[in-house]
Structure 1
Amino acid sequence: MINFNGKLLSQLDSKLRVDNRGYKYGDALFETLKVINGKIFFWEDHYFRLMSSMRILRMDIPMNFTMEFLEVEILKTIEANNLSEASARVRLNVDRGEGGKYLPSNESKVQFNISVEPHDNPFYTIDVNANYTVDLYKDYFVAPGLLSGLKSNNKAIQVIGSIYAKENDFDNCLVLNTNKSVIEALNGNLFLVKDGKIKTPPLEEGCLKGVMRKQILELLAKDVNVVVEEASISPFELQKADELFITNVIKGIVPITKYRKKEYGSTFAQSLVTKLNAKLRLLS
């Protein structure tokens, strides 16, 4: 079942109109949520990121778009799909409805839809025996700035970058901005570990304002034994790193095991996953 503006519909009845602005112009935003046994992980962070992004895109936020209202609609959709006592992946999509060309018409109204699917792992794990190989994606570049960091429906680089990765037998690719700095992976934020120091690109570089990125930075801030820096990462630094890992809400932390001729461990990433799961158990 799909939730369209609060109405539960079957997959067959949930077709978008061809003049939907999210479809025509990418005039839409989305949040990908992990929900376990009816508990939305990091819901407050997701909600405020969505509201901030809607303001940046000059969307007229409906008065009923409160945190409580959207949470109820998400959980209603979870229940309709018999996933209230399971692990689920949820997509909350917000668009400006129909009407207008580039300029929305006066009739354009913000609307939402929610879709869900089962997800295997309730907590975050790292397979220490798994291989995860990446390379740089250099066909196209991201413009620095906060607009690039919005979780919008315009994901052309992520789509063609994923195709490139598959064609070349990579598990993922790292994305560059127009200054040729490494800013993120195709599906998450990037962290670099070197001599006990942790580095991740700042949001101004054009990387996603990731919810899991925020959680990791909060965990690291509590560890007096590490130094954390939000700073540019050059491609030359990648092969000098002790560890590289990718973060997103669905998978948590994904260690990179190989970039070109360099192989990496995952000791720090494993310790971080333990702390992350401990935090989640307190929230559950």
Structure 2
Amino acid sequence: MSIVFLNNEFMPMEEAKISPMDRGFLFGDGIYEVVPSYDGKLVGFGPHVARMQEGLSLIDIKLNWSTQQWRDVVEQLIEKNGAGNLGIYLHVSRGTDSKRYHAYPENVTPTVYAFTFEIPQAAVADKTKAKKYSVNSNTDLRWKRCHIKSTALLGNVMHFQQGHSAGCNETILFNDNDELTEASSCNAYIVKDGIIATPPLDHQILPGITRLILLDILAKDGSLTVEERIVTRKEVESADEIWLTSSSKEIAPVTILDGKPVGSGEIGDVWLAAQSLYSLGKYNY
């Protein structure tokens, strides 16, 4: 039986209940995070909590929790749910109001919810064992504040469904200028002639924690060249390698784009080098 955390109490998931007047339910008015853990070891916990706190500030939800308070909840959830390979979902909504009204209500208490779910074992730097990803592409039709990790994810869900309906693992997105933004639930990268390129952070792109960790590891190692710059659709279509990153996928190699092979159609050597470095360094964050 899964144990969850809801408003300062641990309980079986079946007993967790919120009001239908909760603004998270009515408006998607909240912020969330997903933190991966492998055999009880967390990846990127500090940056995840910092991003959550930044998101809460941006939408003016006041929750004065310290990083240590979040860590205590997360570690207890991991222990109560048997450790192993778990994703920990953290969710804060604005809370429950007495009426449905668009303006932010005053004097409501935020709803805090957290639960765990099983995730695959940590990725290994092995071309023969890595999952190959197939993606399609589409015009990015989401809102203009994608840097906020909002619980209002319908735009992302619809784009993900486009890929799913086409038999793909993901959908990568381009803005109206045919510039790469990200995927529906991942950051995106290309490799050409050994050089890695990924779009710079702005309102079109979520500042992914796996992205943050990966770029920091690659910068410190120095053996691979990384450029944060505008990436065009033509560059994506002619790339030698395409990657996606997220907390649950780590560095995911894409071998099919819109039904056509990426590069040779096989997992590339630059992916192998990057995943090797990431696997060694990811627990330091």
* Equivalent in the alignment of 1:15: 17
1:165 to 2:156 alignment: no
Is contact 1:239-1:262 (8 Å) kept? Answer: no
Is contact 2:125-2:279 (8 Å) kept? Answer: no
For residues 55-204 of structure 1, the aligned pairs below 5 Å read 55-62=57-64, 65-83=65-83, 86-99=84-97, 101-121=101-121, 123-125=122-124, 128-129=127-128, 130-138=131-139, 141-144=141-144, 147-204=145-202
* Equivalent in the alignment of 1:41: 43
Cα deviation, 1:63-102, whole Å, max 9, x if unaligned, reads xx0011111011112222222xx11111010111111511
Structure 1 residues not aligned, in runs of 5+? none
> Could you list the runs of 4 or more consecutive aligned residues of structure 1 that deviate by over 6 angstroms after TM superposition?
none
Q: Which moved more, 1:259-268 or 1:165-174?
A: 259-268
Is contact 1:142-1:176 (8 Å) kept? Answer: no
Q: Which moved more, 1:22-31 or 1:127-136?
A: 127-136
Question: 1: distance between equivalents of 2:250 and 2:110?
Answer: 31
Question: 1: distance between equivalents of 2:63 and 2:175?
Answer: 31
Is contact 2:193-2:240 (8 Å) kept? Answer: yes
Is contact 2:125-2:276 (8 Å) kept? Answer: no
Q: Quote the offset at 1:148 in angstroms.
A: 1.4
Relative to structure 1, the CA distance from residue 155 to residue 216 in structure 2 (aligned partners, 3 Å threshold; closer, same or farther) is same
Q: Quote the offset at 1:204 in angstroms.
A: 1.2
2:33 alignment partner AA: E
Is contact 2:213-2:282 (8 Å) kept? Answer: no
2:77 alignment partner AA: T
Cα deviation, 1:41-63, whole Å, max 9, x if unaligned, reads 1111101111111111111122x
Question: 1: distance between equivalents of 2:181 and 2:80?
Answer: 38
Is contact 1:141-1:176 (8 Å) kept? Answer: no
* Equivalent in the alignment of 1:221: 219
Is contact 1:33-1:40 (8 Å) kept? Answer: yes
Question: 1: distance between equivalents of 2:71 and 2:102?
Answer: 31
Relative to structure 1, the CA distance from residue 226 to residue 36 in structure 2 (aligned partners, 3 Å threshold; closer, same or farther) is closer
Is contact 2:44-2:282 (8 Å) kept? Answer: no
* Equivalent in the alignment of 2:56: 54
Q: Quote the offset at 1:176 in angstroms.
A: 2.3
Q: Quote the offset at 1:179 in angstroms.
A: 3.7
Question: 2: distance between equivalents of 1:152 and 1:207?
Answer: 12
Is contact 2:156-2:185 (8 Å) kept? Answer: yes
Which residue of 30, 33, 55 maps to 1:31?
33
Residue identity over aligned pairs, in percent, reads 21
Structure 2 residues not aligned, in runs of 5+? none
Equivalent pairs, count: 275
Question: 2: distance between equivalents of 1:244 and 1:206?
Answer: 19
1:275 alignment partner AA: L
TM-score of the two chains, using structure 1 as the length reference: 0.90
Question: 2: distance between equivalents of 1:220 and 1:236?
Answer: 25
1:252 to 2:254 alignment: no
1:277 alignment partner AA: S
